[in-house]
Structure 1
């Protein structure tokens, strides 16, 4: 697929996007660098977790965050039902967990059996051990957007889970692959 240069704009018409438009969007939007996190919740004594790169800080007062989740996903449905969730910001050492929790069709039973975690004090949601930071949230709004849900949450508890003696070394996603900031 040829990617248009800055002078060769690709315009979408009034019709729904074609498969070629969607493919081009995937290629171009993969070049948005983003931090990597795991979002989690617990519903009916079962843990749900997934790797995400579409999240952001919305406001400092009150502390509020947003995550974008596929509307038909188990994690999206679980968070919409429970109303509470956690977000763990990952370090490069979490790449294996990020890969595992991003795998489509990962089993619900035993999903976290190979991922070291602890429970958050406010929601009981999973927080990955050694994460750069974590946030526990209560959902205050859910906005459907195309194929996804934009879930806005007010922070109930937060903290850092990485040992102070270690360099944080965040896990970054860029060009459809994981990268590190530190060599």
Structure 2
């Protein structure tokens, strides 16, 4: 692979990356395919939610997950402060929801007015309607990482809201845009 006519590799400056390093990293990391989900929290009688693609299953025993959130975002404050949160995986049909909850400057009041959701049984956080899988979590650890916080949570409840055919059609983020898995 060439990067703007350069050989395949790009070496970062050891002291601190410059703008070119950041741009090359952004271009290359866009080729990491990942699932798309909504993380949500109920804090101070208000709903918070945002689209995320930085999440993973950490352990099956005990069931544990991790989400990466921009430290200066409202959702990060809500998740870190509330101590409980939900993660709803999105199906391809949820692209509009993903776009809406990824938009900067969303209103605090009425954020979920146009999003189909229900309350999770363990935390009361919003669970997106028709989610191929959803998880409710209690925060067990928070780790700073560059501009983000890695929030680890123990699973309190989980389930599936989508019919079988929709579960097989997840929303994927790849090459800086939403894609379908292509089944």
TM-score for both structures, normalised by structure 2: 0.95
Structure 1 segments of 4+ aligned residues over 2 angstroms from their partners: 4-8, 163-168
CA RMSD of aligned residues (A): 1.6
| Residues paired across the two proteins, number | 182
Residues 38-53 of structure 1: pairs in structure 2 closer than 5 A: 38-53=38-53
* 1:98-133 deviation per Cα after TM superposition (whole angstroms, max 9, x unaligned): 000000111111111100000000000000000000
Instruction: Report deviation, 1:164.
Output: 3.9
Question: 2:150 maps to which residue?
Answer: 150
Q: Counterparts in 2 of 1:84-163, with a 5 A limit? A: 84-163=84-163
Distance in 2, matches of 1:130 and 1:142, equals 29
Return 162-171 or 58-67, whichever deviates more: 162-171
Gaps of 5+ in 2: none
The answer to whether the 8 Å contact 2:91/2:167 transfers is: no
Structure 1 spans left out of the alignment, 5+ residues: none
- 1:84–1:137 Cα contact (<8 Å) kept: yes
1:178 aligns with 2:159: no
Q: 1:21-40 CA distances to partner (integer Å, 9 max, x unpaired)?
A: 11111111000000000000
Tell me the distance in 2 between the aligned counterparts of 1:127 and 1:75. Answer: 15
Instruction: Please list, as runs of the form range in 1=range in 2, the aligned pairs for 1:18-57 lying within 5 A after superposition.
Output: 18-57=18-57
Q: Deviations over 1:118-163 (max 9, x none)?
A: 0000000000000000000000000000000000000000000102
Contact preservation (8 Å) 1:162, 1:168: no
For 1:115 and 1:76, the matched residues in 2 are separated by 20
TM-score by structure 1 length? 0.95
Asked whether the 8 Å contact 1:67–1:151 carries over to 2, the reply is yes
**3-state SS, counterpart of residue 94 of structure 1:** helix
